[in-house]
Amino acid sequence: MIIAVVLPLPLDKTFHYSVPAALTGVVVPGMRVRVPFGPRTMIGFVTGFAENTGLLILRNILGIVDAEAVVTPDLLALAHWMAAQYLCSTGEALATIVPLSLRAPVRPRVVSPPAPLTVCEPSAAPVLTPAQLSAVESITASLSRPGGETFLLNGITASGKTEVYLAVMRAALAAGRQTIFLVPEISLTPQFITLVQKRFPGIVGVWHSQLSDGEKYRTWEAARTGAISMIVGARSAIFAPFKKLGVIVIDEEHESTYKQEQKPAYHTRDVAIERARHTGAVIILGSATPSLETYYAAKSGQYRLLELAERIDKKPLPLVRIVDLNRLRQKAKVLSSEIVEALTKTLARREQAIVFINRRGFAPSIACQDCGEVWQCPRCSVSLVYHRATEDLRCHYCEYHAGWPGICPQCKSTNISIFGVGTQKVEHELKHLFPQGKVMRLDRDTASKKGVYQQAYHDFKNEEVDILLGTQIVTKGFDFPRVTLVAVVDADTALYVPNFRAAERTFQLITQVAGRCGRSDLGGEVIIQSRHAVHYALAAASRHDYKGFYALELPFRREMNYPPFSHLVNFLIRGANEEKVEAAAKMVAEAVKTAKDAGGLGIDILGPAQAAHYKLHNKFRWQIVIKGTRPDAVHIAREIKKIKMPSGILTSIDIDPMDVI
């Protein structure tokens, strides 16, 4: 018995092994097996059988990892598609779909029989508005049709998108089909899990990166065997091994976290659409601020557009004020008098506030006032961030850290100052101004331990916290009736970065965080501090005007031939030797031009040029970006992948990158 095996290596080939007599009839496609590979032992995926390889000697497999197939036929087809679209091997794609660490614990936990597949009475769910009901009817009608369909549910904040999701999930369950519910951040899973499990007790699993291997295995097995019918999770939950998949929900579909950064650098939305093509599942892309690509696709008829234009009970959107950052009061170094006054009134009414700044640490840079020396990471071409709690300087890219310098190494001056604002500095000022209030900071520094998100959600929900301060973690998911104020400390942090999505991301962040307040009869207010109040992204966000922003942003994208009018590929060349990296980048650029001319392809070429972050992790970085149709862009990428790079030079190829920094 001969089997075909692919390995999680960057090798576009299949390997053949023989199966010992004891395992003949046991090994089937979709299983993982242990195989010898040179001097190593590796885990591979069985993709099929072979009649005769022509080889005189075949090595035996060493054993099986799984008692049954863990890769369903549709997931195997998805792996082949991912390999073709994202320039990885099928083995690498399968290792992304089924983690190699996924295996039964040595000491299996005794698991009680699954609860009956029951759902709560319909009366437990709120009565849907006419707009919600219309959306549910459109989507559930598609459930019964073959082929699947993709819907964009564009609903303003607090318009009830979640209830639409749940109603469709109920309909899918009644039809004997299963649901994958994706959220962009682990921080959002606690509340969604609680909500979904209450509606559908006993049949909901959870999947995200903070689960232990044992927890992941039990969830995977429950999905594969049908013991659960729904999974709520982050990006990789899209690969849940459901055999009767009916609905895929991608909530906050615009979020960049749906793009995988490591190889294969897939986008969850595109993977979901491809998987639905094989399973006939319905896809719901939900957002108050859809990505331009998604909204353009919906307006062009590729997706069906459903809109929820009003909040539940027709509650008004909060009033938004933009404050000039140049007019800060003397006493407070960070917060304007408008924000301080609004916070004072909010706390006096025993209501809650969210304060948002998308930069962690105390201050983003320090410099010598006498000679101008700026402290930078020795491994990366970025400024070191001052963290007051630990009295040190840190690089947020490579985690290098050093103590407070004391004196300038250039001029020996002690006149060293900090510049800019981070979450720690805002926290310090809030506690100084409002000693009677309970302030909680939620960012990557405070939320690195398991359970912190859940505790933050619990404390804020139970009104044990008055002011929740954080980075973009707090811009989504928090839905509490007593939040009546949102303050944006600095709306400009993402506005002028060298990225074509800068205006879009700024609009999305401001609109999303503004939507956290005014969700009850108490009303709400949003105050935004900015030095660029006239920018169209901020002006549109202050009006909660997605369509207005879209109308202004789309012509820029069209003129510059950026998505949705093209597909991008980013070639990143990096290495420790600066001159070799530059030479390799020029070689790649020349190869791109040659492939373009040879194929008569209508693509634009940007570069070669130094990357915006020229040095990271002691590696110098150059890049070439191309714009064109997806087939042309992928064709060029395949040609470049064939190039043998000089020793010490690494090349990354990112199809449809979220940014090109």
Measured between alpha carbons, how far is 46 from 28 in angstroms, rounded to an integer?
7
Domain boundary among the residues 539, 558, 577 is at 558
Distances (CA, A) of 303 to 295, 362, 386, 507: 9, 44, 46, 23
C-alpha pair distances (Å), 513 with each of 155, 337, 453: 15, 21, 17
Statement to judge: residues 649 and 514 lie in one domain:
no
In a domain, 619, yes or no: yes
User: How far separated are the first and last CA of the chain, in Å rounded?
Assistant: 50
- The residue from 280, 312, 344 where one domain ends is 312
Residue 450 makes CB contacts below 8 A (sequence gap 6+) with 210
**Residue 395 maps to a domain:** no
Residues 139 and 285 in one domain: yes
Q: What is the pLDDT of residue 119?
A: 47
Residue 321: Cβ-neighbour burial (10 angstroms; 0-12, 13-18, 19+): middle
Task: Evaluate the omega torsion of the peptide bond into residue 264 and state whether it is cis, within 30 degrees of 0.
Answer: yes
What distance in Å separates the CA atoms of residue 296 and residue 138, rounded to the nearest whole number? 20
- The strand order across the sheet containing 604-616 reads 604-616, 619-628, 567-575, 649-655
If asked whether residues 294 and 154 sit together in one domain, one would say yes
**pLDDT for the residue 112:** 47
Within 8 A by CB and 6+ apart from 637, the residues are 87, 569, 571, 653, 655
pLDDT value for 483: 94
| Nearest-10 crossing angle of helices 337-348, 423-433 | 60
pTM for the whole structure: 0.92
601: left (phi over 0), alpha (psi -120 to 50) or beta: beta
Do 638 and 532 belong together in one domain? Answer: no
Same-domain check for residues 46 and 158: no
Phi, psi at 527, each rounded to 5°:
-120, 125
> Is there a contact between 269 and 253 (Cβ–Cβ < 8 Å)?
yes
Tokens of 625: 């970006």
Nearest of 112, 79, 119 to residue 98 by alpha carbon: 79
406 within a domain of the structure (yes/no): no
Block means of pLDDT (10 residues each) for the chain, 661 residues, are 94 92 92 95 94 77 92 93 95 94 67 46 73 97 88 95 96 97 79 87 90 89 95 94 96 95 94 94 97 98 96 90 77 82 96 92 85 91 87 89 88 87 91 94 78 80 92 77 94 86 94 89 92 92 96 96 96 96 97 95 95 94 96 95 94 92 78
The pLDDT value given to residue 51: 79
**For the domain that residue 591 is a member of, what is the CATH number?**
3.30.70.600
User: Helices 73-86 and 90-97 sit at what angle, rounded to 10 degrees?
Assistant: 120
Report the pLDDT value the prediction gives residue 269, as an integer from 0 to 100.
97
Are 88 and 213 members of one domain? Answer: no
d(CA 628, CA 624): 13
Read off the DSSP letter of residue 290.
Answer: -
The span from the CA of 397 to the CA of 529, in Å, is 27
Position 107 in a domain = no
How many domains is the chain partitioned into structurally?
Answer: 4
Domain boundary among 517, 539, 558: 558
**Residue in this structure with the two tokens 């939620």, named with its chain if needed:** 442
Q: Give domain status of residue 397, yes or no.
A: no
Residue 507 lies in a domain: yes
Burial classification of residue 75, based on how many CB atoms lie within 10 Å of its CB (0-12 exposed, 13-18 middle, 19 or more buried): buried
Element (H, E) at 528: strand 525-530
248 part of a folded domain: yes
Residue with tokens 């989507």: 139
Alpha-carbon 539 to chain mean position: 26
Peptide bond into 608 cis (omega under 30): yes
Q: Which residues of 144-162 are buried (b: 16+ CB within 10 A; e: fewer)?
A: eeeebbbbbbbbbbbbbbb
Residues 494, 345 share a domain: yes
Q: What domain range is 625 assigned to?
A: 567-655
CATH number at residue 84: 3.40.1440.60
Are 489 and 617 in the same domain?
no
Is 411 a member of any domain?
A: no
- CATH number for the domain that contains residue 540: 3.40.50.300
Q: What is the largest CA-CA distance in the chain?
A: 84
Do both 345 and 428 map to the same domain? yes
Assign 3-state DSSP to the chain and report helix, strand, coil percentages, each to 5: 35, 25, 45
Tell me the HSE value of 87 on the side-chain side, using a 13 A CA sphere.
Answer: 22
Please report, as a single letter, which amino acid is at residue 170.
Answer: R
Claim to verify: residue 580 and residue 516 sit in the same structural domain: no
Q: Are residues 442 and 511 in the same domain?
A: yes
Amino acid identity for residue 453 in this structure:
Y
CA neighbours closer than 13 Å in the CB half-sphere of residue 550: 17
Measure the CA–CA gap between 213 and 660, rounded to whole angstroms. 34
**346 sits in which H/E element:** helix 337-348
Residue pair 544/507 in contact (Cβ under 8 Å)? The answer is no
DSSP 402-433: EE--SS-TTT----EEEES--HHHHHHHHHHH
582 token code pair: 């530059």
320 & 283 share domain: no
Q: How far apart are CA 360 and CA 531, in angstroms?
A: 20
